[in-house]
Chain A
Amino acid sequence: AQSVTQLDSQVPVFEEAPVELRCNYSSSVSVYLFWYVQYPNQGLQLLLKYLSGSTLVKGINGFEAEFNKSQTSFHLRKPSVHISDTAEYFCAVSDTDSWGKLQFGAGTQVVVTP
Chain B
Amino acid sequence: NAGVTQTPKFQVLKTGQSMTLQCAQDMNHEYMSWYRQDPGMGLRLIHYSVGAGITDQGEVPNGYNVSRLNKREFSLRLESAAPSQTSVYFCASRNTRDGYTFGSGTRLTVV
CB within 8 Å of B: which residues of A?
4, 6, 9, 34, 36, 42-46, 49, 51, 90, 92, 99-107
Q: With contacts A44-B90, A99-B31 known, is A106 near B42, CB below 8 A?
A: yes
Q: List, in ascending order, chain A residues with CB within 8 A of B105's CB.
A: 42-43
Q: Total interface residues on B, using CB and 8 Å?
A: 28
Partner of A102, one of B33, B40, B96: B33
Q: With contacts A43-B90, A43-B104, A49-B98 known, is A101 near B40, CB below 8 A?
A: no
CA of A105 to CA of B102 in the docked complex: distance in angstroms?
16
Interface string of B69-111 (1 = CB under 8 A from A): 0000000000000000000001010101111111111000000
List the B residue with the shortest CB-CB distance to A52: B97
- Chain A proximity of B63: nearest CB distance (Å): 19
Q: With contacts A9-B40, A51-B97 known, is A102 near B102, CB below 8 A?
A: no
Q: Is the CB of A102 within 8 A of B42?
A: no
Interface string of B34-64 (1 = CB under 8 A from A): 0100001111110011100000101000000
Q: List, in ascending order, chain A residues with CB within 8 A of B100's CB.
A: 44, 46, 102
Q: Is the CB of B94 within 8 A of A99?
A: yes
